[in-house]
Amino acid sequence: MDLLRIDDQFTDEERMIRDTAREFAASRVEPHVADWFERGTFPVRELAPELGKLGLLGMHLTGYGCAGAGAVAYGIACRELEAADSGLRSFVSVQGSLAMTAIHKYGSEEQKREWLPRMAAGEALGCFALTEPDRGSDPGSMLTRARRDGSDWVLNGTKMWITNGSVADVAVVWARTEEGVRGFLVPAGTPGFTASEIHRKLSLRASITSELVLDDVRLPADAMLPEAAGLRGPLGCLSEARYGIIWGAVGAGRSCYEAAVSYAKSREQFGRPIGAFQLTQEKLAWMEVELGRAGLVALHVGRLNEAGQVTPQQVSFGKLANVRAALDVARQARTVLGANGITLEYPVIRHMNNLESVLTYEGTQEIHTLVLGEAITGLSAYR
């Protein structure tokens, strides 16, 4: 149903990665994900080693057991995983683009050797702790502090909405020091460090989201990521993860669209399939156009990324445009399915609810709008 035949632009290797990720999502996740969503669980310890074996964790990184794939191949994998559920893609993004990228980009040789091979294999899990209960869009004003005590560091603060936080073996925690924001590797079980799962979410239910509390957490000097200084550190990782969302959103939208097309062809009212009515066709044609455009944006930003030319503004463009398109497609698809559209028997409302989180995390739609506004006018409107 891809009228533009965007996938024809992929290389053979990219197509192979697409098929691998698609097959994994179809066989290991899709048959169970509605149930996980309903129960609010995600069997991350079981799935992580399987994703690791397929080379899908930190796949765009090189060395230390990582696959060293191109940006487009990584994006395609995100697309296929998110077609199953945004929770699955969120896990892969946090593990690879946030936690592993922080260590790969900013870590010491010892930190990389200690964590990256096990994280790439899915044997060790990571999380990325930037957001706080009262500091979301403005992480520069974070309250979490790290102070020196001899050669040690002592961390205090609370982090909120942290994906994989309560299952992670290592948390990448961002804290303010006297020299500005720095990143720290906090192994699970460190005294004073607790992580508890956040319940009663109605979005990304097949994903673990946690609150982390750091109460006089004492860390050795070498727990700090030596190469990350200032807010540029976490923002550099977020740009990688946002890139994956540009592709992932297309997958979630595609799943809703496919459900709508199939339903429109089989559901009959007034003696005809509802797909034979012009109003339904208008919805389906509009979804095809939105998803075709989103797919082109993803591929374009992906090729720029591979050429080392992509800018944060282009990533904001893609995240803003594609998540909005996917959410609009999900809402339209929901109407095509009528009452059936509100149940977990079909993937549509699950994707729709998930996309509300995707719209908010990794920079809200408003923040990405302000990024574009500043790029257009040269005037900053954040404050």
Q: Select the residue interacting with ligand FAD from 58, 357, 359, 371 (CB under 6 A).
A: 357
* Contact pattern for ligand FAD over residues 140 through 179, marking x by CB under 6 A: ---------------------xxx----------------
Distance CA 304, CA 171 (A): 31
CB 283 within 8 A of CB 335: yes
Q: Select the residue interacting with ligand FAD from 204, 208, 223, 291 (CB under 6 A).
A: 204
Please report whether residue 353 would count as binding ligand FAD according to CB under 6 A: no
CA nearest 243: which of 315, 309, 307, 294?
Answer: 315
Instruction: Determine the 3-state secondary structure of 277 from DSSP.
Output: coil
Residue 271 CB contacts under 8 Å (≥ 6 apart), including other chains: none
Please report whether residue 184 would count as binding ligand FAD according to CB under 6 A: no
Please report whether residue 361 would count as binding ligand FAD according to CB under 6 A: yes
Q: Which is nearer to ligand FAD, 128 or 257 (CB)?
A: 128
Q: Which is nearer to ligand FAD, 280 or 354 (CB)?
A: 354
Distance CA 203, CA 304 (A): 32
Considering only residues 13 to 72 of the shown chain, the ones binding ligand FAD according to CB under 6 A are none
Distance CA 158, CA 63 (A): 33
CB 18 within 8 A of CB 9: no
Tokens 């044997």 belong to 123
User: Which of the following is catalytic: 30, 362, 366, 374?
Assistant: 362
Please report whether residue 93 would count as binding ligand FAD according to CB under 6 A: no
Residue 88 CB contacts under 8 Å (≥ 6 apart), including other chains: 25, 29, 33, 42, 47, 81, 82, 206
Considering only residues 108 to 147 of the shown chain, the ones binding ligand FAD according to CB under 6 A are 128-131, 136-137
Tell me the residue nearest to ligand FAD as measured from the CB: 136
Q: Select the residue interacting with ligand FAD from 2, 46, 268, 366 (CB under 6 A).
A: 366
Buried b (16+ CB within 10 A) or exposed e, 184-210: bbbebebeebbbeeeeeeebbbbbbbb
Concerning whether 306 is annotated as a catalytic residue, the answer is no
Q: Which is nearer to ligand FAD, 161 or 184 (CB)?
A: 161
Count of residues in contact with ligand FAD, rule CB under 6 A:
21
Ranges of H-type helices in 156-267: 232-266
Which residues contribute to the site for ligand FAD (CB under 6 A)? 94, 128-131, 136-137, 161-163, 204, 209, 357, 360-362, 364, 366-367, 370, 382
Q: Could you list the active site residues? A: 362
